[in-house]
Amino acid sequence: MRKQTIQYSSSLDALIEVTKRLSLLEKQYNLASEEFYYQYSQGQMTDDVACVEWANDYQHYIHLRQALNAKLKNAA
């Protein structure tokens, strides 16, 4: 499998795209990303490609939200 790198023009654009991907996965598996990630981190999910990518997307989502929140606090 070849790793794909996507570049966004802003952190907000990246957050929107990651949120869209997470939303699709949540609908497909009828499971909130937060609950999925908890189960995944507890070893209750498989390490197949779909789960690893979902976990990576969720980690990226958390990182982007924290970075944007920090920027907003500094701007205030």
Residues 6 or more apart whose CB falls under 8 angstroms from that of 37 comprise: 54, 55, 58, 59
Predicted confidence (pLDDT) per residue in 37-68, tens digit: 999 999 999 999 999 999 999 999 999 999 99
Q: Give me 50's structure tokens.
A: 């779909």
pTM: 0.85
Whole-angstrom CA distances from 22 to 55, 63, 73, 75 are: 10, 14, 26, 28
The percent of residues above 90 in pLDDT, for the chain, comes to 72
Q: Which of 25, 26, 2, 22 is nearest to 14 (CA)?
A: 22
Listed by start position, the domains of the chain span 14-75
